[in-house]
Amino acid sequence: MDIYHGSIVYSKSKDELAQFTDSYIAVENGVVEGIYPVLPEKFAGAAVTDFGNGVIIPAFSDLHVHAPQYPQRGIAMDALLYDWLHGYTFPLESKYADPEFAKTVYDAFVDDMIAHGTMHAVVFGTIHSEATGYLIERMENAGLHAYVGKVNMDMESPDYLCETAEDSLRLTEEFLERYMGNRTAKPILTPRFAPTCTFELMKGLGKLGQKYQVGVQTHLVESRWEAEESVRLYPECGCDTGIYEHAGLLGNGPVVGAHFIFPKEDDIRILKKYGGYAVQCPDSTLNIIAGIMQTGTLMDRGVNLGFGSDIAGGANLGVYSQVSRSVQLSKLKEFYEPDGNRTISFAEAFWIGTKHSGELFGKVGSLERGYQFDALVIDGLADPFHELTPAELVERFCYLGETGHIRARYLAGREI
């Protein structure tokens, strides 16, 4: 039994933070046993790790991040999406044909993700199987909960990143067979987005999804161009999300759609039907300027939500900064488009970034009894002249925090 002392904050519900001041959390075999204001007699003699004024919170989940774009973070942020992709991102991704380059970047990426307090992630690789294999192995060896995908692209892409549908499907199946048995870092199908994939490729991926019962991640209605181009290419499908349904890609495992900024009613209906996640990437929205997700509206309509750092569209790996940025963007959305949009509360945003998105991976993202102890201890944010509650300190961390404010990190009860 491991006992930790400090203040404790987690999402009691989507509208309310549970907070415990000067309390103890007991962890048994990496799982939360309970929280106590006074240490019970049954734990007499157990060693206690005392974090004093530190606040213990759940680790975060990043539901959309491009690991190969890690070297590009904070670069070319003055470019719009097309120029950003073709002038910077695609040339960078071509370098992952070199396994040694990939290993160097992916080691740094995983270490930095952990440093930022992210213990669960849905991750894009590139079309390169060997490089993406190293990425998923690195995350598995670290014990991180993850879905990692070898990207599929067979049209409307630079020649150096364009596969044939046959090769893409063959390499993807080999990737699935190699890593389906992983314990924590699992493979996921990853068509980049509909305009870069022929329907032959999409249907082939659907058959693989059904055969191996594996989910899908992609970009959904990220821009007006994507939404319109998808329907132009596949008019019989009706909407962007409908393409994935028609191809048989939905209903086989987790469904993760990044951005989801310009959905039609059918996009929302289909995503809800399969329990899919719409992933807001707030920093990327600001940098690449596609539009602002209808976060409050989608939440009220029962759509599952998550946050993504979207490195390198976003420049910060800290999901905690996406929590605060989502609140800010929801205020802008309501101010400029008041009909049907509302500001989300900090409690709702924190719930999205921890407990709700954590449900994609199992019992992670909370500090309730029975949840895996994936946790952070934050400190150094208090003022000596003005007392804040533990919940207020967590809110301040999401607005002002840096990796130096994370005093300790735990994954399945193990300090890392």
Per-residue pLDDT, 68: 98
For the chain, the domain total comes to 2
> In angstroms, what CA-CA distances link 149 with 134, 158, 174, 298?
12, 20, 12, 26
The torsion of the CA quartet 16, 20, 26, 27, rounded to 10 degrees, works out to: 40
Same domain, 274 and 127: yes
Average confidence score pLDDT of the chain: 97
DSSP string across 188-200: -BEE--GGGS-HH
Helix (H, G, I), strand (E, B) or coil at 225: helix
Residues spanned by the domain of 164: 60-358
Q: Are residues 287 and 248 in the same domain?
A: yes
Which DSSP symbol is given to 33? E
Same domain, 181 and 217: yes
pLDDT at 288: 85
- Kindly provide the residue ranges of all beta strands, DSSP E only, lying in 197-251, ordered along the sequence: 216-220
287 and 397 assigned to the same domain: no
Please indicate, yes or no, whether residues 167 and 191 belong to a single structural domain of this protein: yes
The domain that contains 121 carries what CATH number? 3.20.20.140
Six token digits for residue 145: 């909960």
Handedness of CA 247, 248, 253, 255 (dihedral sign): positive
- Is the bond preceding residue 312 a cis peptide, omega within 30 degrees? yes
Same domain for 194 and 304, yes or no, is: yes
Q: Which secondary structure element, helix H or strand E, spans residue 411, and what is its range? A: strand 406-411
Torsion angle, alpha carbons of 368, 120, 171, 178, to 10: -60
| Spatial CA neighbour of 190 closest among 102, 86, 67, 297 | 67
Q: Which domain-ending residue is among 342, 358, 374? A: 358
What does each of the 416 residues of the chain score in pLDDT, given as a tens digit? 999 999 999 999 999 999 999 999 999 999 999 999 999 999 988 899 999 999 999 999 999 999 999 999 999 999 888 899 999 999 999 999 999 999 999 999 999 999 999 999 999 999 999 999 999 999 999 999 999 999 999 999 999 999 999 999 999 999 999 999 999 999 999 999 999 999 999 999 999 999 999 999 999 999 898 999 999 999 999 999 999 999 999 999 999 999 999 999 999 999 999 999 999 999 999 998 788 999 999 999 999 999 999 999 999 999 999 999 999 999 999 999 999 999 999 999 999 999 999 999 999 999 999 999 999 999 999 999 999 999 999 999 999 999 999 999 999 999 99
Where among 358, 373, 397 does a domain terminate?
358
In whole angstroms, what is the distance from residue 189 CA to residue 191 CA? 7
DSSP string, 340-389: T--PPPHHHHHHIIIIIHHTTTSS-S--STTSB--EEEE-S--BTTB---
The CATH number of whichever domain residue 406 belongs to comes to: 2.30.40.10
Q: Are residues 219 and 326 in the same domain?
A: yes
Nearest CA to 344 among 299, 391, 280, 403? 299
99 touches 130 (CB < 8 A): yes
Asked whether residue 144 falls in the same domain as residue 185, the answer is yes
């207020």: which residue's tokens?
Answer: 392
Alpha carbon distance 63, 367 (integer Å): 20
Grouping H, G, I as helix, E, B as strand and the rest as coil, residue 252 is: coil
Where on the phi/psi map is residue 308: left (φ > 0), alpha (ψ -120 to 50), or beta?
beta
Q: Which residue in 75, 144, 113, 139 sits closest to 317, CA to CA?
A: 113
Q: Mark whether 178 and 295 lie in a shared domain.
A: yes
Tell me how far apart the alpha carbons of residues 360 and 357 are, in angstroms, rounded to a whole number: 6
Q: Is the domain of 343 the same as that of 371?
A: no
The predicted pLDDT at position 44 comes to 87
The last residue of one of the domains, among 309, 340, 358, is 358
Cβ-in-10-Å burial (0-12, 13-18, 19+) of 292 comes to buried
If asked whether residues 156 and 207 sit together in one domain, one would say yes
Q: Count other Cβ atoms within 10 Å, centred on residue 34.
A: 14
What does the pLDDT read at residue 71? 98
What φ, ψ does residue 68 adopt, rounded to 5°? -70, -15
Q: Are strands 2-13 and 16-28 parallel, antiparallel or unpaired?
A: antiparallel
- Examine the domain organization and report whether 208 and 305 are in the same domain: yes
Structure confidence at residue 80 (pLDDT):
85
134: amino acid identity, one letter: Y
